[in-house]
Amino acid sequence: MSTTAQSVWTNCLNFIQDNIQPQAYKTWFEPIVAVKLSDNALSVQVPSKFFYEWLEEHYVKILKVALRKELGENAKLVYIIKMENTYGNKQPFTERIPSSNRSAVKSQDIDVPLNNKNPQLRNPFVIPGIRNVKIESQLNPNYNFENFLEGDSNRLARSAGLAVSAKPGGTSFNPLLIFGGVGLGKTHLAHAIGVDIKDKYPEKTVLYISAEKFTQQYIDSVKKNNRNDFIHFYQLIDVLVIDDVQFLSGKSGTQDVFFHIFNHLHQNGKQVILTSDKAPVDMQDIEQRLLSRFKWGLSAELQTPDFETRVSILKNKLYRDGVEMPDDIIEYVAKHIKSNIRELEGAIISLIAQSSFNKKEINIELAKQVVEKFVKNTKREVSIDYIQKIVSDYFQMDVDTLQSKTRKRHIVQARQLAMFFAKKLTKASLASIGSQIGKRDHATVLHACKTVDNLSATDKQFKKYVEDLTKKLSV
């Protein structure tokens, strides 16, 4: 069997993967493509000059060992650098560089001026015509770690955020994707990370932007024929925070430009922080190549806070606002408003306002009135616990039976229906749904949803189950 460039490189990768950290392998070796094998010289394609220099500086020894194991003592590695020309020319910039001779790189031949420091560079955040190249962070200093209280529901995400703010671009949490339902603190945490980085590293350029605004800026840049300025501007950022990244769904042009900006930032050791209302596995109409990059770092979920965390959040808010309130009132509000932190804080503000405007003492009676009105006037998000209870009652079984490991057909179907409605009516990820409904994995939930769809179309009795439960769960 003849030796090919791919087989040699695959063997090299197997050796390298066993000897370096998984994140480093993903970042620096998975993107490399074997191109050809000539005598003892293996040619590989790398995404950029920076990529090549990083490999030579940090991994030259392991590359030599791996290659010599395959091709002998006279083995050579030739790099082919391929960079997209962002100025509209579809031809790639390519230069061959022997690994033993770094001086062979001619930057003028292969470098696209990505880090253009020209003062005429258009900053999409300033008014046209005003000379101002300073990049304002767009961060809200009121969103910080001090008032983002830790609990079981957010511990992983908060800890990862602290690690990133201590060493932006220098942890394996790059990108850091924070996801969860409405009002659980995604935006707050994203801002807190940015604010902390600005405090610790004043020289770093940090920028917060919503995906919606990013999209609009991109559209404007295309209309005004300054797309390259738009790309170059974002390639100057040290820490890029993009809120509600799911908004890019279906927007292929914006996804394409973000893909190249992301690659440039990541390869240059810059930090990317993203928020989304769903996990990558649940995102629709996002290109696979982008989704794969979202998974390079850490995806951390913010879940609905438990009772103790809700009480702590309310006490912290009251303390910051200089308001005193009896513990029994705080606990009453925390017990009856569970869906998200935004509603929780909104209820306590309404309670203080009612007391102040009507000159009434804050007591349990007033709290009951306010909470009742607040819940009634707020679109309620159905919880997974509530869905399990309704489905269990409908099939005349208890929740423990629904969650059990039994394979009895009617129990399996009830469990699948609970998963189906949890996916349909909540913002929870597939993994979170599976975890809460009998400790299943996300693949089981996905299978359950497909099964319910199929049975609804072919089984009249099952279709009636779905219709009945839809009515019972309507809010």
**What span, in angstroms and rounded, lies between the C-alpha atoms of 32 and 267?**
13
Distance of CA 136 to the CA centre of its chain: 23
Residue 183 annotated as lining a ligand binding site? yes
**Token pair of 436, please?**
């809460």
Give kind and range of the element (H or E) at residue 79.
strand 76-83
**CA distances for 155 relative to 95, 299, 300, 301, angstroms:** 47, 13, 9, 9
Contact 240, 213 (CB under 8 A): no
Of 103, 111, 128, 144, give the one whose Cα is nearest residue 235. 111
Instruction: Look at the alpha carbons of 338, 341, 347, 352 in this order and tell me if their dihedral is positive or negative.
Output: positive
Helices marked H in 72-208 — which ranges? 107-110, 155-166, 186-200
Residue 186 annotated as lining a ligand binding site? yes
**What span, in angstroms and rounded, lies between the C-alpha atoms of 424 and 13?**
42
At which residue do the structure tokens 């690690």 appear?
163
| Phi, psi of 306, deg, nearest 5 | -75, 175
Residue 408 annotated as lining a ligand binding site? no
Contact 164, 300 (CB under 8 A): no
Give the HSE-up count for residue 8: Cα atoms under 13 Å, Cβ half-sphere.
29
**Token pair of 14, please?**
């197997």
Residue 151 annotated as lining a ligand binding site? no
Give the HSE-up count for residue 173: Cα atoms under 13 Å, Cβ half-sphere.
23
Annotated binding-site residue numbers for ATP: 183, 185-187
Annotated binding-site residue numbers: 183, 185-187
